[in-house]
């Protein structure tokens, strides 16, 4: 395993340049007051990194494009052989657009129950989509990853991992660099987490640009493999049958090997957020910031508002709103049930 190098996050930022959106870091006095009141604190500042406004509607485009611009993919033969990856939707869309941007053939293996909107958009970006087969007691992403590996071996495509890949990790970390360039005094950064690629990139960016910032990991309840890993002190896969959650983008069954090597010694704490609190945070983001977030994208804000992250009076807390790929009818249905 290669050693993580924080400086490569800055190299990724230079490589990506203006091909990605420098998403806004939003602040609203009403949200500051709401968070301060819920947490019984004074003068909290809440900054929301709106990665829901990134190309393809999620932070994943940063890592996907950075990976396809790296040396081993930067030639006609490699692009003709193409790439294959497993994804429930956000990395699928990101890699599809990155492949179209670079002229690379792309195949995506998605879990059988991936959201239809995400599958439709992935096809619209030009990728071939293959659905995995459901297997009782088998994590949906484990099943899809196995099919993707078999496809790569059969067709000679490059197998790309959606989070356990250094190029992807460094690309995702560029969002945190942008935060630290705009705000020097961030006490805590809250990062929604599936396999840990974005979290690892943010850890390395903080090491490079804001060493005093504490990083916190947030997962859906029932998929808290990072929290279990931090408690045990070792990378710990989920036990038992897969859980049910509306946060479809964050259903990894275990931290990645590379991501755990970065996150294990660097993350200050972890939380698991129930679905109902994710929906509440979606409503808060819509009301206070006019942002449409998918449940996964709202987990960081939910964890803050629940009091899962330690804060002090006057703290500036940054939250990554990592995605907004939710169908209108789903968004309305979720909020009608509140």
Residues with Cβ within 8 Å of 247's Cβ and at least 6 positions away in sequence, in order, are: 220, 223, 275, 278, 294, 295, 296, 299
Per the annotation, the verdict on 212 as an active-site residue is no
Cβ atoms of 179 and 27 within 8 Å: the answer is: no
Q: Which of 88, 145, 210, 253 is catalytic?
A: 88
Report in angstroms the alpha-carbon separations of 325 from 20, 52, 136, 332.
Answer: 17, 8, 27, 13
Helix and strand element counts for the chain (H, E): 15, 10
CA angle in degrees (0–180, nearest 5) for 326-331-335: 150
CA distance 84 to 137: 25
Sequence-ordered alpha helix ranges (H) in the chain: 7-16, 29-39, 60-68, 76-81, 90-102, 116-124, 140-155, 166-172, 174-182, 197-209, 225-232, 257-263, 275-289, 299-306, 328-336
Quick one: DSSP state of residue 57? G
Pairing status of strand 158-159 against strand 83-86: parallel
Q: Which of 36, 49, 55, 60 is catalytic?
A: 60
Per the annotation, the verdict on 60 as an active-site residue is yes
The residues annotated as belonging to the active site are: 60, 88
């Amino acid at each position: 395993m290669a050693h993580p190098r924080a400086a490569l996050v800055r190299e990724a930022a230079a490589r990506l340049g203006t091909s990605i959106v420098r998403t806004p870091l939003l602040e609203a006095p009403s949200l500051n007051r709401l968070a301060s009141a819920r947490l019984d604190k004074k003068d909290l500042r809440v900054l929301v990194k709106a990665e829901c406004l990134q190309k393809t509607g999620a932070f994943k485009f940063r890592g996907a494009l950075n990976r396809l611009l790296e040396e081993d993919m930067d030639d006609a033969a490699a692009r003709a052989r193409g790439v294959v990856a497993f994804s429930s939707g956000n990395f699928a869309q990101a890699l599809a657009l990155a492949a179209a941007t670079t002229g690379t053939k792309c195949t995506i293996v998605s879990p059988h129950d991936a959201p239809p909107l995400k599958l439709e958009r992935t096809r619209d970006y030009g990728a071939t989509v293959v659905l995995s087969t459901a297997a009782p007691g088998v994590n949906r992403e484990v099943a899809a990853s196995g099919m993707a590996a078999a496809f790569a071996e059969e067709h000679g495509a490059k197998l790309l991992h959606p989070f356990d890949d250094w190029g992807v990790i460094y690309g995702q970390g560029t969002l945190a660099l942008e935060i630290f360039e705009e705000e020097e005094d961030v006490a805590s950064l809250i990062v929604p987490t599936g396999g840990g690629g974005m979290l690892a990139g943010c850890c390395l960016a903080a090491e490079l640009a804001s060493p005093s910032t504490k990083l916190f990991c947030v997962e859906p309840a029932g998929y808290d493999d990072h929290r279990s890993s931090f408690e045990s002190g070792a990378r710990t896969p989920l036990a038992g049958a897969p859980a049910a959650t509306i946060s479809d983008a964050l259903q990894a069954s275990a931290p990645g090997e590379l991501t755990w090597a970065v996150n294990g010694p660097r993350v200050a704490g972890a939380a698991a957020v129930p679905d109902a609190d994710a929906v509440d945070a979606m409503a808060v983001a819509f009301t206070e910031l006019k942002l449409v977030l998918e449940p996964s994208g709202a987990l960081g804000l939910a964890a803050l508002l629940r009091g899962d992250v330690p804060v002090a009076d006057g703290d500036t807390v940054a939250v990554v709103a990592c995605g907004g790929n939710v169908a209108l009818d789903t968004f309305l249905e979720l909020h009608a049930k509140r």
